[in-house]
């Protein structure tokens, strides 16, 4: 990540003004942006109150409105005097990993105004102006506790407005109104207003844990919108620079392409972003909510993504740590990376982050989707600071759902691929009129995870081409396509387009449109242009000028709505031509423009990874602390190829060592095998339980086109593991199972409880084990589906328990109890219900190494299935 900031012509004019009283004569100052098109006006009235306004091309867009800040000790919104002014020119040059313009070079004029207030309190107001708008922030050199801001904006009461009634996840329905007639209440950023021929987009930038997120509040009938903070008080230790109060001003083309919010944000915190890769994501939760809990179904999504060159699959709520590592290995061998969903409270402590994030990385997970933050408080922004640093340290990309809006976060933290903060397709009600507002509002300030292209959403008034075009018109570093593989394959022309769309852009231009009516946008990626249109108006023909093209002829390949479904058509165009596309009501289209070479299509090959195999011998083993196992690996390319840069190596898990060199081959062809041998040794202090000993091959392959977003080669990672068990001591006597260490455990709700019923979701919250009025001091409390495994080592002969549904359930549950030895069923109870008494369950476990106690839901779902293994015991040798 390259980020450079330049400061030119620093002019210090901080000459103190000799003013005997806090109030001063009215004064005003102008800060003009490069070219003079946009200027900011800062004024001080006779009472020492500040106001701020913005002009464009000499005409007011935002009339002067009160600004200022209050702290617990001082009111710095009145009684101010100017102490001095300094000015400079700031040039920002940086490269983004995501967004509508990857390379940015912008110049801003900056002036710092120093004021003093009551008791000599100091307040600096910094104003920055670019060709795209103006912004200001406060600096409190002495810090303190901020209790509020007087910051505000003033619009003409009749100014058309596109506003979002505020809630902290920014998922309310955006409304079209006017500045004055908008309902009284709070509105979320960004807010768009039209003033004559100009537009003003109001938002903020550079918010982190030193402050909180703001919103606008409005009184009915007024054109005034005042800043309201999320917290009653914001405490700063030492000097405090507040977030920027930002107004993007200009025509709609200026607003939609603006990056002013990013220009004002801090530079990248990352020096290496080579591991950050945007791209298309297959996501199953919206179209089939239960699928994230099904590893077989997730592999089907992975196969679909691999066939179509999509680099990611997101496994949402419901995944299980017991099977995720194997699914990740399956995906990576096919050139697909896995993303995992988490509730934010799973990562809200240092301990959780230090435990879970390295574990995900060790599995090979590429990134996480974190959900339900639902707050703009300072505490929550401090959490954002922590999670951003922690995920970056583990090279895990991140997507924030149930989140606040972007405020320059994707410049500062380039591994943020996208954020929700939008009423997207997962609300299951799609309207063209609101879809056409988002490109001019929410999506201006950063990646927007709308989860588009969903035939699963049946309550929509959009056409099929409109749905496909959302993947282009909306910018998101990760674009989560939210329908089933079978649905996309039933729309082959849509899938053909989606499998070749980039998700990051070198350049973006609005060609035509208006909020709530239509959007036609052109985006460039490398040497080709993509034009996408969505409509919320009656049937018409779109006329998009192609003046942005370079010289020569281009093939324009368009996907649009036809009379009987999606159709594809082509024509040859030149710079200066007009692209004309017929659209039905609420329709859309996607056009790809590539240099015309005589080919009939702009399609490029889809990235498909050659099939390989990696076998390990042994595949399972027992290793005692201090012991070793020698593993032989064979990596084979059965057919096809060639593959290049092949490397085969072993990796030692924590507490283990591995001996043996990596082996390599510069190229392999069909039928070739690469072999290696390694010896893994368990350290004396390794914990008991299951461990995976990984061996992996990495390679590139000839003809790999790369992904649409990543130039060059993405190595393919093929990994298999030896499943090693570090066993505890063999049990002896007649131990209770609840007193033995668990090798593995899983549970349908909360953890498995020892000597208590399942209870609720927390550990230790169960009750005494009770079945039909009989209490048992020992046993296991489970919730179907669940199981535990324990080590017997062949030392035991008999298992016994009293099984049943615990009395704590409020309604009838049903559970089937099963006893397995070394994965072979030894005994089962049949379905036991709440009304049934405890039933004896015994099994001969002679020679069994690993005992599994499993409960299933009885075939009618898991509700109220609190399963008790009462007085579960073993008979073992001495």
pLDDT digits (tens, 9 = 90+) for 576-634: 999 999 999 999 999 999 999 999 999 999 999 999 999 999 999 999 999 999 999 99
Q: 494 forms bridges with which residues in the sheet?
A: none
Which tokens hold the place of 786? Answer: 């669940």
Does 426 participate in catalysis according to the annotation? yes
Please, what are the domains in the chain? 3-13+26-263 (2.70.98.10), 279-505 (3.20.20.70), 613-726 (2.60.40.10), 737-876 (2.60.120.1060)
Contact 531, 590 (CB under 8 A): yes
C-alpha distance from residue 375 to each of 371, 396, 430, 783 (Å): 11, 23, 25, 33
Q: 722 forms bridges with which residues in the sheet?
A: 693
Whether the per-residue pLDDT at 105 is higher than 60: the answer is yes
Q: Of 212, 371, 720, 868, which one is the catalytic site residue?
A: 371
Whether the per-residue pLDDT at 13 is higher than 50: the answer is no
Determine the Cα–Cα distance for residues 757 and 768; give it in Å rounded to an integer.
6
Whether the per-residue pLDDT at 19 is higher than 70: the answer is no
The mean pLDDT of 295-318, rounded to a whole number, is: 97
Query: Which residue's structure tokens are 């609101």?
Result: 434
Contact 528, 603 (CB under 8 A): no
Determine the Cα–Cα distance for residues 49 and 760; give it in Å rounded to an integer.
57
| pLDDT at residue 11, as a whole number | 31
The mean pLDDT of 538-561, rounded to a whole number, is: 97
The mean pLDDT of 103-127, rounded to a whole number, is: 97
Q: Pick from 132, 133, 87: which is nearest to 110 by CA? A: 87
Whether the per-residue pLDDT at 7 is higher than 50: the answer is no
CA atoms within 13 A on the CB side of 494: 27
Q: Of 426, 518, 583, 808, which one is the catalytic site residue?
A: 426
C-alpha distance from residue 201 to each of 5, 192, 248, 346 (Å): 25, 4, 5, 35
Contact 491, 566 (CB under 8 A): yes
Whether the per-residue pLDDT at 3 is higher than 90: the answer is no
Residue 860 pLDDT grade (very low, low, confident, very high; cuts 50, 70, 90): confident
Whether the per-residue pLDDT at 859 is higher than 90: the answer is no
Contact 54, 38 (CB under 8 A): yes
The mean pLDDT of 795-819, rounded to a whole number, is: 96
Whether the per-residue pLDDT at 542 is higher than 90: the answer is yes
Q: Pick from 218, 213, 65: which is nearest to 153 by CA? A: 65
Structure confidence by residue, pLDDT tens digits, 424-481: 999 988 999 999 999 999 999 999 999 999 999 999 999 999 999 999 999 999 999 9
Angle of CA points 229, 235, 238, to nearest 5°: 130
Percentage of the chain exceeding pLDDT 90: 92
The mean pLDDT of 551-563, rounded to a whole number, is: 97
| pLDDT at residue 831, as a whole number | 96
Contact 799, 872 (CB under 8 A): yes
Phi, psi (degrees; rounded to nearest 5) at 359:
-65, -45
Q: Find out whether the peptide bond into 151 is cis, omega within 30 degrees of 0.
A: no
Angle of CA points 458, 461, 464, to nearest 5°: 75
Does 371 participate in catalysis according to the annotation? yes
Segment among 21-35, 291-305, 350-364, 829-843 with least mean pLDDT: 21-35
pTM exceeds 0.85, yes or no:
yes
Query: Which residue's structure tokens are 């309902």?
Result: 183
| pLDDT at residue 551, as a whole number | 95
Determine the Cα–Cα distance for residues 478 and 463; give it in Å rounded to an integer.
23
Whether the per-residue pLDDT at 711 is higher than 70: the answer is no
Contact 13, 87 (CB under 8 A): yes
Residue 861 pLDDT grade (very low, low, confident, very high; cuts 50, 70, 90): confident
Determine the Cα–Cα distance for residues 281 and 471; give it in Å rounded to an integer.
11
Determine the Cα–Cα distance for residues 653 and 526; give it in Å rounded to an integer.
41
Structure confidence by residue, pLDDT tens digits, 646-691: 999 999 999 999 999 999 999 999 999 999 999 999 999 999 888 9
Contact 121, 79 (CB under 8 A): no
Contact 95, 274 (CB under 8 A): no
DSSP 3-state of 542 = strand
Residue 239 pLDDT grade (very low, low, confident, very high; cuts 50, 70, 90): very high
C-alpha distance from residue 829 to each of 16, 621, 698, 777, 801 (Å): 89, 31, 48, 21, 11
Determine the Cα–Cα distance for residues 195 and 179; give it in Å rounded to an integer.
10
C-alpha distance from residue 105 to each of 93, 260, 262 (Å): 4, 11, 11
Sign (positive or negative) of CA dihedral 290, 434, 523, 580: positive
Query: Which residue's structure tokens are 């108006």?
Result: 537
Determine the Cα–Cα distance for residues 406 and 267; give it in Å rounded to an integer.
15
Judge residue 597's burial from the number of C-beta atoms within 10 Å of its C-beta, 0-12 exposed, 13-18 middle, 19 or more buried.
Answer: exposed
Determine the Cα–Cα distance for residues 380 and 345; give it in Å rounded to an integer.
11
Residue 529 pLDDT grade (very low, low, confident, very high; cuts 50, 70, 90): very high
CA atoms within 13 A on the CB side of 263: 31
Which tokens hold the place of 388? Answer: 């951003």
Average pLDDT score, the chain: 94
């Amino acid at each position: 990540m390259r980020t450079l900031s330049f400061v030119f012509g620093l002019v210090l004019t901080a000459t103190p003004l000799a003013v005997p009283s806090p109030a001063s004569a009215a004064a005003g100052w102008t800060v003009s942006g490069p070219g003079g098109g946009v200027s900011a006006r800062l004024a001080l009235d006779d009472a020492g109150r500040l106001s701020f306004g913005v002009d464009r091309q000499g005409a007011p867009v935002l009339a002067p409105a009160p600004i200022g800040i209050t702290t617990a000790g001082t009111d710095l919104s009145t009684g101010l005097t100017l102490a001095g002014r300094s000015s400079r020119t700031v040039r920002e040059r940086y490269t983004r990993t995501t967004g509508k313009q990857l390379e940015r070079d912008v110049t801003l004029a900056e002036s710092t105004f120093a004021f003093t207030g009551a008791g000599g309190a100091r307040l600096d107001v910094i104003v920055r102006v670019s060709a795209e708008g103006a912004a200001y922030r406060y600096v409190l050199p002495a810090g303190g506790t901020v209790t509020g801001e007087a910051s505000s904006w003033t619009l003409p009461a009749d100014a058309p407005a596109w506003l979002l009634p505020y809630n902290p996840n920014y998922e309310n329905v955006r409304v079209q109104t006017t500045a004055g007639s908008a309902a009284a209440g709070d509105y979320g950023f960004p807010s768009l207003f039209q003033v004559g021929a100009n537009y003003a987009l109001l938002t903020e930038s550079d918010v982190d844990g030193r402050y909180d997120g703001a919103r606008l509040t409005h009184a009915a009938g007024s054109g005034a919108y005042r800043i309201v903070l999320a917290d009653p008080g914001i405490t700063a230790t030492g000097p405090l620079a507040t977030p920027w109060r930002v107004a993007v001003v200009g025509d709609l083309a200026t607003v939609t392409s603006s990056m002013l919010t990013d220009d004002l944000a801090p530079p990248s915190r990352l020096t290496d972003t080579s591991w950050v890769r945007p791209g298309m994501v297959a996501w199953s939760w919206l179209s089939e909510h239960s699928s994230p809990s099904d590893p077989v179904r997730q592999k089907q999504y992975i196969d679909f993504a691999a066939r179509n060159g999509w680099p990611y699959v997101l496994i949402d709520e419901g995944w299980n740590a017991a099977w995720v590592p194997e699914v990740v290995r399956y995906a990576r061998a096919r050139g697909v990376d896995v993303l995992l969903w988490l509730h934010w409270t799973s990562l809200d402590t240092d301990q959780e982050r230090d435990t879970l994030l390295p574990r995900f990385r060790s599995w090979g997970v590429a990134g996480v989707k974190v959900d339900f933050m639902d707050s703009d408080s300072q505490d929550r922004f401090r959490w954002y600071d922590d999670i951003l640093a922690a995920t970056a340290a583990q090279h895990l990309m991140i997507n924030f759902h149930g989140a606040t809006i972007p405020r320059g976060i994707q410049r500062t933290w380039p591994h943020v691929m996208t954020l929700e903060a939008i009423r997207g397709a997962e609300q299951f009600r799609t309207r063209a009129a609101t879809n056409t507002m988002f490109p001019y509002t929410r999506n201006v300030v950063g990646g927007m995870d709308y989860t588009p292209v969903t035939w699963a959403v049946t309550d929509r008034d959009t056409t099929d081409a409109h749905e496909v075009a959302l993947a282009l018109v909306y910018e998101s570093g990760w674009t989560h396509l939210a329908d089933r593989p079978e649905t996309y394959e039933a729309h082959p022309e849509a899938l053909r387009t989606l499998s070749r769309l980039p998700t990051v852009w070198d350049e973006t231009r609005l060609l035509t449109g208006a909020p709530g009516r239509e959007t036609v946008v052109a985006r460039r990626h490398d040497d080709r242009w993509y034009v996408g249109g969505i409509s919320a108006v009656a049937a018409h023909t779109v006329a998009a000028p192609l003046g942005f093209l370079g010289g020569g002829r281009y093939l324009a390949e368009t996907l649009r709505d036809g009379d009987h479904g999606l159709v594809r058509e082509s024509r040859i165009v030149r710079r200066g031509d007009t692209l004309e596309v017929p659209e039905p009501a609420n329709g859309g289209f996607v056009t790809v423009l590539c240099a015309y070479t005589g080919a009939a299509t702009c399609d490029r090959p889809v990235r498909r990874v050659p099939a390989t195999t990696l076998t390990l011998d042994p595949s399972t083993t027992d290793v005692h602390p201090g012991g070793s196992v020698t593993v032989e690996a064979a990596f084979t390319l059965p057919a096809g190829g060639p593959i290049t840069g092949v490397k085969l190596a072993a990796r030692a898990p924590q507490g283990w060592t591995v001996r043996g060199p990596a082996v390599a081959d510069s190229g392999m062809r069909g039928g070739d095998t690469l072999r290696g041998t390694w010896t893994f040794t368990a350290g004396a202090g390794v914990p008991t339980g299951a461990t995976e000993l990984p061996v992996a091959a990495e390679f590139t392959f000839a003809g790999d086109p790369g992904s649409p977003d990543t130039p060059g080669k993405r190595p393919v990672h093929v990994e298999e593991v030896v499943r090693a068990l570090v066993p505890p001591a063999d049990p002896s006597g007649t131990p209770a199972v609840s007193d033995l260490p668990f090798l593995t455990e899983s549970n349908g709700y909360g953890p498995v409880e020892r000597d208590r019923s399942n209870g609720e979701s927390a550990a230790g919250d169960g009750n005494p084990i009770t079945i039909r009025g009989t209490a048992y001091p020992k046993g296991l409390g489970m919730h179907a589906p669940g199981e535990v495994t324990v080590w017997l080592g062949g030392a035991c002969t008999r298992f016994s328990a009293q099984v049943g549904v615990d009395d704590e359930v409020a309604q009838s549950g049903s559970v089937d109890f099963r006893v397995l030895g070394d994965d072979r069923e030894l005994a089962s109870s049949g379905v036991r219900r709440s009304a049934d008494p405890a039933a004896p369950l015994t099994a001969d476990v002679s020679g069994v190494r690993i005992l599994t106690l499993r409960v299933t839901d009885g075939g009618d779902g898991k509700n109220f299935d609190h399963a008790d293994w009462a007085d579960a015991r073993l008979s073992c040798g001495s």
